[in-house]
Amino acid sequence: MSVLIIAGSSRSESVNRKLQQRICEVAEADGRACYAYQAAELDAPIYNGDDEQENGVPSNIQKLASAINDATKVVIVTPEYNSSIPPLLKNAIDWTTRLEQNPWVGKTVLLAGASPGRLGAMRAMTHLMVVMGAVQSWVAPMFLSCPQASDDTIAKFDSEQIKNFLKQGD
């Protein structure tokens, strides 16, 4: 039983990477094997069919697909850009569905997100829910939202709430 946690921002001070770390700590303390995926490894050229024909699927995306295949469940921690999903994340997801075997089919996916604003990336998560349904994953109904995200609010995020969130799909 292992949890792969993907953060959708590679920014050094990213609040979503900090939430990813917090979820990972709680998961491990709760006896779950946890793998925090490096956001920089989501990096790939913006999808283009000509590029795909010439060069195939980028190696970062193949690595990501292997990590998804190896995991029992996947948590995606998304930033919110203009009420939606950031391009780094959407592009990586789009590329994964170009592989011979789409790694998302039937996979349990849990959605989390952090933002300094009051809505805590909820709008991005509702968009991500639609995308993850389209790639045929099973999306857990309860989201984990961290509004007014800062070092302090993330450190104080209720561990019971995170544990309950992680139980989905057990």
Q: Which of 14, 91, 97, 137 binds ligand FNR (CB under 6 A)?
A: 14
Using CB under 6 A as the binding rule, whether residue 113 contacts ligand FNR is answered as no
Using CB under 6 A as the binding rule, whether residue 80 contacts ligand FNR is answered as yes
Q: Which uninterrupted H or E stretch holds 3?
A: strand 2-7
Asked if 34 contacts 74 with a C-beta cutoff of 8 angstroms, the reply is no
Alpha carbon separation from 97 to 43, 61, 101, 128 (Å, rounded): 15, 10, 8, 15
Using CB under 6 A as the binding rule, whether residue 91 contacts ligand FNR is answered as no
- Give ∠ CA 149-39-143 in degrees, rounded to 5: 45
CA dihedral (95, 84, 27, 155) positive or negative: positive
Q: Which of 117, 130, 150, 156 binds ligand FNR (CB under 6 A)?
A: 117
Q: Residue count at the site for ligand FNR (CB under 6 A)?
A: 14
Q: Which of 3, 4, 6, 9 binds ligand FNR (CB under 6 A)?
A: 9
Using CB under 6 A as the binding rule, whether residue 83 contacts ligand FNR is answered as yes
Using CB under 6 A as the binding rule, whether residue 48 contacts ligand FNR is answered as no
Using CB under 6 A as the binding rule, whether residue 82 contacts ligand FNR is answered as yes
In the structure encoding, which two tokens stand for residue 130, read together? Answer: 């639609």
Q: Which residues pair with 84 in a beta bridge?
A: 81
The residue ranges that bind ligand FNR (CB under 6 A) are 9, 11, 14-16, 79-83, 115-117, 119
